[in-house]
């Protein structure tokens, strides 16, 4: 295999809200993922460009994937390339947004009229069907398996147990820099042999991260809720992660 640093991208085959995906000329089993500077919320209704966000989210996601790998959880990540891209293994994304929650917040608080901030007795996993045209609706396991048929019953069980294992590792990672992992979203992909692997990204766009001491939010809620200093907070997360874990990964 050629060294990842020398890989070149082929034509773009997909552009999402946060990433552009290209092929890798030297290896058809890989994908070149560029992290965009766009920020979106409310299923794309609220939009903004923040120069440098793509670099920060690439750096944070990559460090998180490398940390997970070191602690026994593999993902699609292969190598970083350029300032805002990573090379990943090609997988078929399972169209489920797998949300893990440690604390009542966000849509859960709103839907059930609960105050934000209460620790849950145990982490819970919510599934959403990944479909922008339907605004990623909340679904249950039976709907995923028997109506949408996006995964088998065994696969849904596996995905949920992987998500909970990843939660334990991520809670430790973020607590190490004084952040409470409130909730987050994962996506999983499948190799041709059927193996399921962690994919997409893990960044302040896809997690809620609250400063343990001050309660300050260091995630996309700063954008969703117009709290300001969005990138400054993403940068604090990156700088602290890099200082604490960067050299060991
Ligand atoms: P929620 O409170 O909107 O349900 O979101 C829970 C967590 O999952 C929060 O950290 C944001 C993340 N998330 C995404 O990144 N993308 C999504 O499409 C969804 C539904 C949640």
- Taking only the tens of pLDDT, the chain with its 249 residues reads 567 888 999 999 999 999 999 999 999 999 999 999 999 998 889 999 999 999 999 999 999 999 999 999 999 999 999 999 999 999 999 999 999 999 999 999 999 999 999 999 999 999 999 999 999 999 999 999 999 999 999 999 999 999 999 999 999 999 999 999 999 999 999 999 999 999 999 999 999 999 999 999 999 999 999 999 999 999 999 999 999 999 999
Span from the CA of 26 to the centroid of ligand 1 (angstroms): 35
Q: Nearest CA to 99 among 61, 128, 121, 119?
A: 128
165: tokens are: 């294992």
- Beta carbons within 10 angstroms of residue 142's beta carbon: 11
Q: What is the pLDDT of residues 74-133, one digit of tens each?
A: 999 999 999 999 999 999 999 999 999 999 999 999 999 999 999 999 999 999 999 999
**240 within some domain:** no
Instruction: Please give the DSSP secondary-structure letter assigned to residue 188.
Output: E
Look at residue 1 in the predicted model and tell me its pLDDT.
58
**What proportion of the chain, given as a percentage, has pLDDT over 70?**
99
Ligand 1 mean position to 216 CA, how many Å? 18
The pLDDT of residue 43 is 83
**Cα–Cα distance between 71 and 73 in angstroms, integer?**
6
100 and 170 fall within a common domain: yes
User: In this structure, are 122 and 196 located in the same domain?
Assistant: yes
Dump the DSSP string for 192-214.
Answer: TTS-EEEES--STTTEEEEETTT
DSSP annotation of 6 reads G
Contact 67, 77 (CB under 8 A): no
**Number of structural domains, the chain?**
2
C-alpha Rg value of the chain to the nearest Å: 18
Give yes or no: residues 100 and 84 share one domain. no
Query: Which residue, 90, 106, 134, sits at the end of a domain?
Result: 90
Output the CA 41–ligand 1 centroid distance in Å. 10
Rounded Cα distance, 240 and 56, in Å = 12
Ligand 1 site residues (CB inside 6 A) read: 97, 99, 106-108, 128, 136, 183-185, 206-208
pLDDT at position 2 is 67
- Is 118 inside any structural domain? yes
From 70, 90, 110, give the residue that closes a domain: 90
Residue of 108, 125, 206 best suited for mutating to test ligand 1, as the one with most atoms within 8 Å of CB: 206
SS3 content of the chain, % helix, strand, coil (to 5): 35, 35, 35
Q: Give a yes or no: residue 239 inside a domain.
A: no
Is 145 a member of any domain?
Answer: yes
Cβ neighbour number for residue 194 with a 10 Å cutoff = 8
Domain span at 154? 93-229
Q: Which atom of ligand 1 is nearest to the CA of 110?
A: 2
The DSSP call for residue 75 is B
Shared domain for 110 and 82, answered yes or no, is no
**Whole-model pTM over 0.95:** yes
Whether residue 23 sits in one domain with residue 103: no
- Mapping DSSP to helix (H, G, I), strand (E, B) and coil, where does residue 178 land? coil
52 and 68 both lie in a single domain = yes
Tokens of 183: 């909730």
CB 206 within 8 Å of CB 185: yes
Mutation test of ligand 1: which of 163, 183, 218 has the most ligand atoms closer than 8 Å to its C-beta?
Answer: 183
């Amino acid at each position: 295999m050629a060294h990842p640093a020398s890989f070149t991208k082929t034509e773009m085959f997909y552009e999402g809200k946060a990433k552009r995906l290209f092929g890798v000329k030297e290896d058809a089993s890989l994908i070149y993922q560029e992290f965009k500077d766009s920020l979106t919320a409310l299923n794309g209704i609220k939009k903004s460009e923040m120069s440098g966000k793509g670099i920060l989210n690439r750096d944070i996601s990559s460090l998180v994937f490398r940390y997970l790998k070191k602690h026994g959880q593999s993902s699609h990540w292969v190598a970083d390339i350029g300032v805002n891209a990573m090379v990943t293994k090609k997988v078929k994304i399972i169209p489920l947004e797998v949300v893990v929650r440690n604390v009542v917040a966000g849509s859960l608080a709103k839907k059930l009229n609960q105050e934000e901030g209460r620790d849950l007795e145990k982490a819970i996993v919510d599934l959403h069907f990944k479909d922008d045209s339907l605004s990623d609706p909340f679904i249950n396991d039976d709907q995923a398996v028997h109506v949408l048929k996006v995964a088998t019953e065994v696969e849904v069980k596996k995905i949920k147990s992987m998500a909970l294992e990843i939660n334990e590792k991520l809670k430790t990672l973020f607590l190490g820099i004084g952040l409470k992992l409130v909730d987050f979203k994962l996506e999983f992909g499948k190799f041709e042999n059927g193996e399921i692997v962690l994919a997409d990204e893990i960044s302040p766009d896809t997690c809620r991260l609250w400063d343990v001491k001050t309660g300050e939010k260091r995630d996309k809620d700063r954008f969703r809720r117009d709290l300001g200093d969005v990138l400054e907070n993403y940068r604090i997360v990156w700088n602290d992660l890099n200082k604490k874990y960067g050299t060991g990964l």
